[in-house]
Amino acid sequence: MLPANLYDNYYDPKGLDLWEKKVATYEAPADRKFQSILVPTLDTTRYSWLLNSLLAIKKPVMFCGDSGTAKTVTVFSAFRQLDSEKFIFLNVNFSSRTSSKSFQDIVEENIDKKTLKSYGPKAAGKKMVLFIDDLNMPVIDKYGTQAPNALLKFLVERNQLY
Ligand SMILES: Nc1ncnc2c1ncn2[C@@H]1O[C@H](COP(=O)(O)OP(=O)(O)OP(=O)(O)O)[C@@H](O)[C@H]1O
Ligand SMILES: [Mg+2]
């Protein structure tokens, strides 16, 4: 018997089942540090799954929500589950002082020329996942835009920079 709310269920080829059943039991972190505690919840499980599924097909993902709703911790916990042989992570924190130039510099510092027109991560054979935290922070300029986000939009839409 399924509950009324569709969002409580996940779909796999065998049918619908409750997300609740996928939530792992809590285990204390190995280093015993308070700041590395992550309690698996329905939301962290569900959103980690979505993130990993979308990354696998190279689709960009955006998490939005109020401050303190565990966006950052969910992303980091999902990254920890990914295969480090296949992926490397580039973590960028946007702030009010981030400019499109500084964002472009960070991206360019972390990639190498692979062929005439294509660039890739420095670690050969790996895919790079770019995680931008606090995307809303860059200052809004007099044209009403946030320059680093305009550059990011360009990068996501066209898959290129110049
Ligand atoms: N499932 C959880 N297990 C352990 N700690 C959690 C969990 N969910 C949230 N927290 C704690 O809540 C706090 C806020 O989480 P986080 O920093 O990820 O929020 P955020 O959505 O990124 O907020 P902001 O928009 O301000 O960046 C953190 O200190 C985090 O450790
Ligand atoms: Mg955050």
Question: Residue ranges per domain, the chain?
Answer: 1-82, 83-162
- 8 A C-beta contact, residue 110 and residue 92: no
- Alpha carbon 64 to chain centroid, angstroms: 11
Superfamily for the 83-162 domain: P-loop containing nucleotide triphosphate hydrolases (3.40.50.300)
pLDDT higher at 98 or 11: 98
Structure tokens at 100: 């499109």
Mean predicted lDDT score pLDDT of the chain: 90
Domains 1-82 and 83-162 share a fold: yes
- Alpha carbon 38 to chain centroid, angstroms: 17
Q: What is the mean pLDDT of residues 19-32?
A: 87
Q: How far is the CA of 115 from the centre of ligand 2 (A)?
A: 36
Q: Which CATH class is domain 1-82?
A: alpha beta
CB of residue 38 inside a 6 A radius of ligand 1? yes
- Percent residues over pLDDT 70 in the chain: 98
Which of the four pLDDT bands, split at 50, 70 and 90, describes residue 144?
Answer: very high
CB of residue 41 inside a 6 A radius of ligand 1? yes
Q: How far is the CA of 40 from the centre of ligand 2 (A)?
A: 17
The residue behind tokens 């080829």 is: 13
> What is the position in ligand 1's atom list of the atom closest to the CA of 74?
18
> What is the position in ligand 1's atom list of the atom closest to the CA of 134?
27
Ligand nearest to the CA of residue 75, numbered in listed order: 1
Which of the four pLDDT bands, split at 50, 70 and 90, describes residue 125?
Answer: confident
Residue 35 amino acid letter: Q
* Beta bridge mates, 129: 89
pTM of the model: 0.86
